[in-house]
Structure 1
Amino acid sequence: MKRYEQFAEEIAALIRNGVLAAGEKAPSVRQASRIYGISQSTVFQAYYLLESKGLLVAQERSGYFVRAQQQAPLDEPKVYSQSLESHEVAVSELIFSVLNSLRDPNTVPFGSAFPDPSLYPLARLASCLSRSMKQMPEHEIVSDMTDGNSELRRQIALRYSQIGMLLAPHELVITNGAMEALSLCLQSVTQAGDLVAIESPTFYACLQMLERLQLKAVEIPVHPRDGIDLTALANALEKLPIKACWFMPTLQNPIGATMSNERKQQLYKLLQQHQVPLIEDDVYSELYFGNTPNQPVKRYDQQGLVMHCGSFSKCLAPGYRIGWVAGGQFTERIKKLRLMTTISPAVPSQAAIADYLQHGGYDLHLRRLRNTLEVQQGQMLAAIARYFPAEARVSRPQGSYFLWVELPEAVDSLYLFQQALNKGISLAPGPIFSASEKFRHCIRLSYGYPWDERSEKAIAQLGLLVTQQLKS
């Protein structure tokens, strides 16, 4: 990073942590130059960057101030108590009915599972696809179907090495997106009727997969900042025959929580104690805000118990369907299962992404994407604070592109979902994120699309619909 970007991140961290409060004046250009030992032009560049992110606002002849809208007055969502029950999963019909309703391109896409496609370097990826296929030796069209593109696996291994993880390329299994990786992991360690510990709330595709494989869910509460409730998990592991855990310890979907490195180590030690494998869903890990990448639980894996699943779909190439799993001790079983089902992801897609990674630009793209998403998060948080009832609660994740909004318990999010669709607004209602169909008063909103007047009016309309429900 350039020096002005480093300084901007230092100030941004002070704002995010509440050291610089809303409305408070940032250090003057002269002060910052003297205190941090940098030139005044570097300070100006940093403040311009923070202004573009919506973190600072310039006031003529007065300097720069922390933008008031960044301090959302709404509380964070509550954590709900655990009940030691396993649940047969039967929510696919509800999930499909909701997802089918989100396909209308004319709706305001607060319910979307992906950010705006214009945020991705699709034209450059197309050039990489053309170039890589022209240069590919004929025999690799077939050989890459078995083990996956060797350059792609090397590039993924290099990404791991940047966060201090040394993984051999042969441990990496390339898959048809993260969903296949997660499915193969689940199949490699469970049989029909087994119990799987999942987050509550959890990503709805996890529920669909448990239902398809006839597995039972044990729901573990998630704190909106700290992630999995480790005490509740320890209790469940002690009393129930749990065969596997499927967790998203970093930027969890839908609530946005990220476990600290210390808590991730505690999670691994707990699972190691009980010899229960972890399927680590880490598809949002590259979308963190700030300057420090997140460490996965896999970083602390000493026995190969963690199957770490990633994907390029959310951060680079939606539609290319390229994911992977670092399978640990289960790698060979996962490889065999993949060969018995889909055989291989598309070789051209693998080659295109490998070419893109090899020729640079990925980290620059990610910085731009993260900056954009951070600005859009601030804009949505500010709008929710303006238009939703004061009793509403909202998460404030340090990355990704989702907010989890907990409304007053009298609100029915499924009814709100239908009302919003009638107004041309999509959202994701809470019950699709629970095996027991809890969270009926909660919704997930995406800030993955550019904020404009239409977005502002849509949040105002949602706030009005919520208020009307409460009155009725």
Structure 2
Amino acid sequence: MKRYEKFAEDIAELIRSGVLAAGQRVPSVRYASQTHGISPSTVFQAYYLLERRGLIRARPRSGYFVNDNFVGPSLSAPELEAVPAAEQVRETTEVDVSELVFSVLDSIKDPHTVPFGSAFPSPALFPLQRLARSLSSATRDMDPRVTVTDLSPGNPVLRRQIALRYMVGGLMLPMEELLITNGALEALNLCLQAVTQPADLVAIESPAFYACLQVLERLKLKAVEIPVHPQNGIDLDVLELALERHPIKACWSMTSFQNPTGAQVPEERKRALVELLRTHQVPLIEDDVYGELYYGQHAPKPAKAFDTEGLVMHCGSFAKSLAPGYRIGWVAAGRFAQKVERLKLMTSLCASMPAQAAIADYLQHGGYDRHLRKLRNTLEDQLRAMLGAVTRYFPAQTRVSPPSGGYFLWLELPEQVDALKVFHAALAQGISIAPGPIFSPTRRFRNCIRLNYGTPWTDTSETAMQTLGKIIRSLMGH
């Protein structure tokens, strides 16, 4: 743990224990530096971290203060937290969530609905005009022969650009391992099909991204739910027990900024996850579509970085970071690359060639990293705005774990609140949310909701949060 993280944790503990009360001023930078023997920059880093977590806030020319009506930062499913790991390995589950998911997806089609339930950030955050120029240029100069030569595995220029981004992140991958797909969802589908048969068992996160559940449902696979901690991600102890008890054929995990919890698996735990699965020779399907949306100084390493045997299939996409609607994703499929490519050829042949060429052009000339820095800053600002609104309008018993990347906020509401009732009542007021039960094949997390802060914050957003708070309080009986 770095010095600023240790100091931040010390202050956080004072807040959690009530020593520093809501609204109280935390030690000044100068005082904290002198008292604890650390540099002012270390104190600032710690306070910035606490601010991102929603514990403190800055007041101009006054210093830092504990947030009013502080909302605690730790959250996990209570029924999983209180029992031994051995009792958390549940029976395998047939998956049937699509009708519930479709009702949520339908709720965001109306452009007048506040899209807190959406799975996507606002298109307004992306350089769509610059992408359009890349699309025009790339298609104008496209060699007609590529319509035959550039079927799967995809546009070689785009694959080279993706390989370069892996290299910059410290991961050397041969281009032969990379396959371009119709978004990350197709990549994930192909990976599952490459290593499973109908009725096989797949270890998934709980809560899990609902599209994962729909894929299992479509492929007639059974789920083994592994709990996710909101700070550390997938529970490795429970996963190990599940691997010992069940003939699991694959593990699907979002290791960075998990949807819906926002959990970020620490680097050492990613290494341990890969080693655990290697021991059991179980492939890891790594869903990493939010990996570029980190808020700190350094990008999180994917679990793929610790893969020595080609067991990790790393899936990514430009839909969440650059080009929604272009439907361009990819997979670095390790030892399964050839099988995944052949499945791709048997199903959809190739991803859109103009879209591939456009993104390849943008990655070369469009300033992708500059765009990403701006996008991250915007999302972090919007996170602060939503956390502030939760503090102002939601019941004090609400628990939330502020993420360090992505654009989702996972909230545990008071025990008596039914998230599906919140969903229907909010929709009647023109507000979409994602209720907890859509993230579990067993319809758990009934008092949890996921909110999307990927839309620019406006007065409408603020009013919608106030309305949500009123709805939740009304369902508590006061």
**CA offset at residue 375 of structure 1?**
0.7
RMSD: 2.6
1:72–1:382 Cα contact (<8 Å) kept? no
State the AA in 1 paired with 2:247: P
Answer whether contact 1:172 1:326 (CA < 8 A) is retained: yes
Q: CA deviation at 1:69?
A: 4.3
Pairing 1:291-330 to 2, within 5 Å after superposition: 291-330=297-336
Question: How far off its partner does 1:68 sit?
Answer: 4.8
Contact 2:252 2:287 in 1 (8 A): yes
Deviation for aligned residue 1:27: 4.5
TM-score by length of 1: 0.89
Alignment correspondent of 1:7: none
5+ residue gaps, structure 1: 1-9, 38-42
AA aligned opposite 1:190: T
Structure 1 position 66, deviation (Å):
3.1
Q: Does 1:97 align with 2:95?
A: no
Matches within 5 A, 1:113-132: 113-132=119-138
Aligned residues: 445
Match of 2:467 among 461, 465, 468: 461
Q: 2:387 aligns with which of 365, 373, 381?
A: 381
Question: Are positions 1:283 and 2:285 aligned together?
Answer: no
Aligned to 1:165: 171
Distance 1:161-1:72 versus aligned 2 partners, 3 A rule: farther
In 1, the alpha carbon distance for the partners of 2:451 and 2:130 equals: 30
CA contact (8 A) 2:401 2:409 kept: yes
Preserved contact between residue 89 and residue 241 of structure 2 (Cα < 8 Å)? no
Could you tell me which amino acid in structure 1 is paired with residue 64 of structure 2?
Answer: V
Residues 56 and 390 of structure 1, relative CA distance in 2, 3 Å threshold = closer
SS of the aligned residue for 2:151 comes to helix
Q: Which residue of 1 aligns with 2:60?
A: 58
Determine the structure 1 residue equivalent to 2:72. 74
Whole-angstrom CA distance in 1 between matches of 2:135 and 2:394: 45
Aligned equivalent of 2:477: 471
C-alpha contact (below 8 Å) 1:256/1:397 kept by paired residues: yes
Are 1:436 and 2:442 an aligned pair? yes
Q: Is the 8 A contact 1:406 1:443 kept in 2?
A: yes
SS in 2 for 1:166: coil
Please give the alpha-carbon distance, in whole angstroms, between the structure 2 residues aligned to 1:171 and 1:457.
48
CA–CA separation in structure 1 for the residues paired with 2:3 and 2:127: 29
Q: Check if 1:352 corresponds to 2:352.
A: no
Selected match of 1:452 from 435, 444, 458: 458
Distance 1:319 1:393 in 2: 34
Show the counterpart of 1:3. none
2:68, 2:391 within 8 Å by CA — same for their partners in 1? no
Q: For the Cα contact (< 8 Å) 1:72–1:381, is it kept in 2?
A: no
The verdict on how the C-alpha distance between 1:366 and 1:388 changes in structure 2, with shifts beyond 3 A counting, is same
For 2:251 and 2:161, the matched residues in 1 are separated by 28
Q: What per-residue deviation string (whole Å, max 9, x for no partner) do you get for residues 202-228 of structure 1? A: 000000000000000000000000001
User: Given the superposition, is the C-alpha separation of residues 453 and 16 from structure 1 closer, same or farther in structure 2, using an over 3 Å criterion?
Assistant: farther
Q: Name the counterpart of 1:231.
A: 237
Counterpart amino acid of residue 425 in structure 1: I
The 1:250–1:139 alpha-carbon spacing in structure 2 relative to 1, beyond 3 Å, is same
User: In the TM superposition, what is the alpha-carbon distance from 1:73 to its structure 2 partner?
Assistant: 2.7
The runs of 5 or more residues in structure 2 that have no matched partner are 16-23, 81-87
Cα deviation for residue 89 of structure 1 reads 0.4
SS of 1:146 mapped into structure 2: coil
CA–CA separation in structure 2 for the residues paired with 1:311 and 1:280: 12
Paired residues of 1:210 and 1:217 also in contact (CA < 8 A):
yes
**Structure 1 contact 111–427 (Cα < 8 Å) conserved:** yes
Q: 1:459 to 1:157 in 2, by over 3 A?
A: same
Worse-matched range after superposition: 205-214 or 137-146 = 137-146
